[in-house]
Amino acid sequence: MSRTKVDLKDPAFAAFLAFLVPGLGHFYQRRMFKALLYSACILGTFFTGLRIGHGQVVYFHWKQADNRTYAYLCQVWAGLPALPALAQSHLLRSKEAFDANYVSNEFSGPFQGNLLDAKGNVIGEISGTVEIRPDRNETANNRPAWSGTIRGTLKTPAGTRNIEGEVRRGGDHERWVLDPAVAPWPVRRVFGRFDETSDGGGAPVRGRIEGGIPRSLWDSYEAPLQDPRPSDSGSDASDLDRAHRELGGRFELGVVYTMIAGLLNILAIYDAYEGPAYEDEEDDEKTDTPPPDAGPEKT
Amino acid sequence: MHYVLAAGGAAALGRLWFLPPLIIIVSLVYSASRYESPGRIVRRAFRLCVQIAGFMAVVLGILAWLSAGL
């Protein structure tokens, strides 16, 4: 039962709006101060936490019992900003979208990276575009594989020139990798063997390439961190390991911030539904001074 | 070894800067869910803010005292 004289309009609808976007329910009820306060505080806390955790602290993962994201049960109350995590989970994405080296269809995108020789020395910096396509021959052997073409410019200490070449996975070495299509990092890494096909005026450049393609917001926002798999090996086997290694204590800080934002919105939702817990007149009896004309009513 | 511990302590202290914004925000949102008048919300939030900070300072003092000999 509401103890307030505030006009709550349709409380259930207001509570629903307050869940979707913190402060929106109060905006609907024309409680502008609270709408601003809730939206600034809760959304500010949520996105600050997301920023602290480099976008890797809000995701939904429930299949593997050891790595369930119980924190998401708190974060989800932040509403729309947290709901894409559900869409990014395996529920709405294909299983292969989270597999490294898997390419279902040819795609292209801007590329930025370094070209290295066999000993690992940097030859120069390549920027341009890359086209990646599935390697049907290798994939037929149950080994996800890909190859691609890079076109762009090679910048070396000697100067800058146009370059074109083939890039491919080139072996089972853990460093030869095309990152999964969906992951919480903004860049999809491409590490592979490079063979120049353009005529550079000298011996064609061969070596390895280490670079990346920018991920779209849809492919990275609240994408789940993947668990290690039995076939994985190497230091980057688990996304969770990589996130902890890169972020350190900031990972937990980000989780705590986003969890608190979600929990605070529960208070805001309840306030939109029921109104404030106390009438203003009930509070501060001791500190409030009585009005000057207060006194016993004369008959 | 002492340098490593000192660096770890400094990092932990640096992380404390993430705490005051949380205290302020929690106080504001909690008070806003209790009262309707903006002035009263701000006054109550300030009071709650001081209470939380004081409580945590006491806990910090106790923990520091307990771990002083370690």
What ipTM was predicted for this assembly? 0.86
pLDDT tens-digit profile of A77-130? Answer: 999 999 999 999 877 788 888 888 888 889 999 999 999 988 889 999 999 999
- Based on the domain organization, do A132 and A27 belong to the same domain? no
- Based on the domain organization, do A61 and A101 belong to the same domain? no
Report pLDDT for A116.
Answer: 92
- Based on the domain organization, do A103 and A68 belong to the same domain? no
- Whether A242 is covered by a domain: the verdict is no
- Whether A294 is covered by a domain: the verdict is no
Report the amino acid identity of residue B51: Q
- Based on the domain organization, do A27 and A70 belong to the same domain? yes
- Based on the domain organization, do A112 and A216 belong to the same domain? yes
* Alpha-carbon gap: B47 to the closest alpha carbon of chain A (Å): 12
Residues from chain A contacting residue B47 (CB–CB below 8 Å): none
**Which one of B36, B47, B52 makes the best mutation probe of the A interface by having the most chain A beta carbons within 10 Å?**
B36
- Based on the domain organization, do A103 and A186 belong to the same domain? yes
Closest CA to A111 of A5, A215, A239, A7: A215
- Whether A183 is covered by a domain: the verdict is yes
- Whether A237 is covered by a domain: the verdict is no
Question: Which residue does chain B place closest to A271, by CA atoms?
Answer: B33
Restricting to A residues 19-58, those with a Cβ less than 8 Å away from any Cβ of B are 31, 33-34, 37-38, 41-42, 44-45, 48, 52
CA distance A46 to A60: 16
Indicate the burial class of A78 (C-beta count within 10 angstroms; 0-12, 13-18, 19 or more). buried
CA distance A258 to A20: 15
* Alpha-carbon gap: B68 to the closest alpha carbon of chain A (Å): 24
- Based on the domain organization, do A108 and A202 belong to the same domain? yes
Contact A178, A146 (CB under 8 A): yes
- Whether A162 is covered by a domain: the verdict is yes
- Based on the domain organization, do A181 and A111 belong to the same domain? yes
* Dihedral, CA of residue A14, residue A16, residue A17 and residue A21, to nearest 10: 140
CA distance A65 to A272: 35
Give the residue carrying structure tokens 């789940």.
Answer: A224
A278 shares contact with chain B (CB less than 8 Å): yes
Report pLDDT for A1.
Answer: 45
Count of CB atoms situated within 10 Å of the CB of A285 = 7
Q: Which of A223, A240, A265 is the last residue of a domain?
A: A223
CA distance A173 to A166: 18
- Based on the domain organization, do A85 and A111 belong to the same domain? no
- Whether A236 is covered by a domain: the verdict is no
pLDDT tens-digit profile of A228-271? Answer: 655 554 445 678 888 989 999 999 999 999 999 999 999 999 99
Say yes or no for a CB contact (<8 Å) between B34 and A45: no
- Based on the domain organization, do A71 and A40 belong to the same domain? yes
Q: Name the domain count of chain A.
A: 2
pLDDT tens-digit profile of A124-169? Answer: 999 999 999 987 765 556 666 788 999 999 999 989 999 999 998 7
Which of A228-232, A277-281, A283-287 bottoms out in mean pLDDT, i.e. has the lowest?
A: A283-287
Indicate the burial class of A116 (C-beta count within 10 angstroms; 0-12, 13-18, 19 or more). middle
Percent of chain A with pLDDT over 90: 59
- Whether A297 is covered by a domain: the verdict is no
Residues from chain B contacting residue A52 (CB–CB below 8 Å): 18
**Which residues are CB-neighbours of A57 under 8 A, at least 6 positions away?**
A49, A50, A71, A251, A254, A255, A258
- Based on the domain organization, do A121 and A215 belong to the same domain? yes
Which residue among B15, B21, B32 places its CB closest to the CB of A271?
A: B32
- Based on the domain organization, do A85 and A188 belong to the same domain? no
State which residues form the domain around A43: 11-89+251-278
Say yes or no for a CB contact (<8 Å) between B34 and A276: yes
- Whether A292 is covered by a domain: the verdict is no
Contact A97, A180 (CB under 8 A): yes
Tokens of A135: 């390697």
